[in-house]
Structure 1
Amino acid sequence: MSSAATVVVFSHRAEVRDAVRTAVGTHPASDVGPVRYLECATGAEVVAAVDRGGVDLCILDGEAQPTGGMGIGRQLKHEITDCPPVLVLIARQADRWLAHWSMAEATLAHPVDPLVAPEAVADLLRARAGRPAVHG
C-alpha cells in the first residue's frame, strides 16, 4: 500500500484509543505504508465512518460502553458490503469465542502489546490489499 490506510479506532475511552495508536504507530510495517487514524467514541460514529467508505481496517474495543466493539463488528459484517477487516480488543483470552461470533478477523488482548499489535494490523491491511502476510 503506498497511500495511507485509514484505520478506525473505536473505544468510549480516549486512553484506549491512544494506547492503540501508540502501540501500532504510523508505519506498522515497511511494506504496508502509513496509517491514518480515525478515532470514534461511539458505535454510531463507527457505523457512519464505515458506511461512508474508505476505511481499510476497524479496531474495536470489545469492552466499550454502552455498545461493545463485538456487537458493532457483527453489525458491520452484516450490513456493509465489502466490510473492512475487524480487529477486536479483548480483555480476556476466554473472550476469543465472542470475537469469533462477532466475525472479527483478529483479536488483540488488553493491554495492547506494541510488539504484537503492528504485525496484526499489517497482516490485516495486507489481506485487505490482496497480499500475503509476511512473517519472519
Structure 2
Amino acid sequence: MTEQPMRILVFSHRAEVRESIISAVGRRPATDLGRVDYVEVAGVGDVLAEMDEGNVDLAILDGEAQPTGGIGLCRQLKHEIADCPPIVVAVRRKDDRWLATWSQAEAVLVHPLDPLTAAETVADVLRSRRVPSVHG
C-alpha cells in the first residue's frame, strides 16, 4: 500500500513567490516524510475553500500577499477552523517574525528563502502533525 503524498497549500497573490516557496521546500522536504504535493492558490477565497475541505496537511502563507496578507489570514484560520492544519508564514523581514507569532503560525520562513532551512522547517512542522501508526 502506497502512502498518499501530503498536501501543502501555498498561498500568494504572486506566482513567483509561490514558485520560490515550492522550489525552496522541494518535493521531498525530508526522506522520512515522503513526497509532497502542492496546491497553489492566489486568492483568499481559494485558501478558505481548500482549508474547509480538510485535505491540507500544511499551509504556507505569504505574509506580504495583497490585498489580504498571510499573517492576518493565519490568525483568522486558527480561530475559525476547529482542527486547523499547521501553518507556516513567509515574511520579508526578520523583524516581522513577531507578527507571525501573533498570528499563531507554527513556524516562520524569512525571504530570501534558504532551501535547507525551508525544507527543514516544513519537515519539522509536518512531523509534529503526523499521527504515529500503530501495528498490532
State how far apart, in whole Å, the 1-side matches of 2:123 and 2:113 are.
15
Task: Please say if 1:125 is aligned against 2:126.
Answer: yes
Equivalent in the alignment of 1:134 = none
Identity across the alignment (%): 58
Equivalent in the alignment of 1:44 = 45
- What is the letter of the counterpart of residue 37 of structure 1? Y
Say which one has the larger Rg.
2
CA drift at 1:115: 1.4
CA drift at 1:93: 1.0
- What is the letter of the counterpart of residue 53 of structure 1? G
Partners of 1:3 and 1:33 within 8 A in 2? no
CA RMSD of aligned residues (A): 1.3
Q: Give 5+ residue unaligned stretches, structure 1.
A: 132-136
State how far apart, in whole Å, the 1-side matches of 2:19 and 2:96 are.
22
The ranges of structure 1 where at least 4 consecutive aligned residues each deviate by more than 4 angstroms after the TM superposition are none
CA drift at 1:130: 4.0
Q: Give the TM-score taking structure 1 as reference length.
A: 0.92
Equivalent in the alignment of 1:35 = 36
Equivalent in the alignment of 2:100 = 99
Equivalent in the alignment of 1:87 = 88
State how far apart, in whole Å, the 2-side matches of 1:33 and 1:123 are.
13
- What is the letter of the counterpart of residue 111 of structure 1? P
CA drift at 1:81: 1.2
Q: Number of matched residues?
A: 131
